[in-house]
Structure 1
Amino acid sequence: MTPIPDLSSWSTSITDVKDSSIRYRGVPIEDLIDDGDLATTLWLVLFGGTPGTGSADALRRALIAALDHGVSAPSTLVARVTASTRSAVPFAVAGGLMAFGGPAHGGAAEGAANLFVEIAASDDHETGARDVVRRLLDRGERLPGYGHPYHRRDPRVPGLMGGVAEDRTHRRIARLCEAALRAESGRDLRMNADAAVAALLLDAGLGTADITLVTGLGRAFGLAAHAREELMEEKPFRAPSLDTIRFVSPAKQEEA
């Protein structure tokens, strides 16, 4: 039988708490409160170590870009509807984050990151990008991180692609994918923030599994703002009116 972990014993390298002392990854909390900035401190706690200038800049840009996309985003709708039941802000944020992580929403960034890593391992990045794009199109699938229902040109992309991280490998691959997609599809499909943030964070040294972690953290602040606004400004209990709901009878379902 597999032994059950002992819940009385824990190990962590994140925070060390002793009498009159708190240290994040070995750094006294008072030093961080006095002199630390948010991006550097988050990097320290999440990933360990002090980030280089390019890595801290990448994290800052990614958090800001992920912060909010208005009420049109499904995650925001979930958070606001939850808040309309008069649930507290943290519960509304949790609901919104569950929607945000889906591959058709914020999870698309991690999907793009996985493809960029695959292409980066190929002998020729331009050929690799074209092969990946063709493979997805042949399957009738979308290339995650490209095209947008509201933006012909996503205004977040230039700032993300302009990050100061020295390694630009994955950002170059993101551009190659954009060119290949437009050539193969015959459509003017451009990179959106999901692809750009994925490429930037990979260039900053993070792994693919860290992409949704970062964008989810950023979006949590925006969801909190929407939940707070809903609680303070709107009437409770948002729900569709009955005359907008179409009932499909079992008989019609069988006919279909």
Structure 2
Amino acid sequence: MDAVENSTSAAALRHSLLIGLCVFVACLIGTFSRLPGTLAVFWPANALLLGLLVRSPRSATVPTWFCAATAYISADLVTGGSVESALWLGASNIIGVVGGFYAFRWVCAEDRRLSSIRSVGYFVSATMVAAALTGCVGGAANVALFGGTWPDGWILWFSGNLVNYMTIVPLVLTFPSLRPEDRDPEAVSRILRLSVIPAALLALCILLQWVIGGAGAIAFAMPALVTAALLTNVFVTSLMTAISTVCTLVLTADGHLGTAVEG
């Protein structure tokens, strides 16, 4: 019995460490997405952690939260951040994820898989809770670290995190099961065939965004996303939405997609 318990504990600890490693890598991706003179263009760490824990609530153990918090702080320190900024930013990130996780606990398992129209309302509500809590600490960090105001910090952290949650969490929640017994080769083959048209449209739309630019180019991806929603499933649509969002954020940050009309 002791051997079984020890084995189970070791497996749980490895799982917590793996989640912490995923968060650490995601933080580095976010940090290195910074363009000169800007904040991170894309910050996937919070949304990835929230999605993993919502998909597998049993993973939300004390060691997992500790590993995640350590990953946030370590990633900031190894990329040149100060101890003060690492603690402030790490606190804002982890508190938002904790709030979002417990908000999702009020949602039934079926709706957490985004299986119906009703699921969308629950999803939006829970992710807004997560983004708002991140903004509360982020507002204080804006005052302490950057000399700004709390309302400005709240808006910045809230809006940035909400975009990331809306982009990444659906992708994680609807990711196909990797267990062989859950796979349907015919269904997978059918989805792959149906994904060709929206994928080609999306590639064309992103190319047009880059070539043409301007504020209106933000909407160029809409035909591809609508086609994906009509022909494929929630996961494929979420994946294409994520790709479109990341490309749009990058093109906006480097000046290809302006948000104001110049006189």
Higher relative contact order (CA 8 A, sep 6+): 1
TM-score w.r.t. structure 1 length? 0.28
TM-score w.r.t. structure 2 length? 0.28
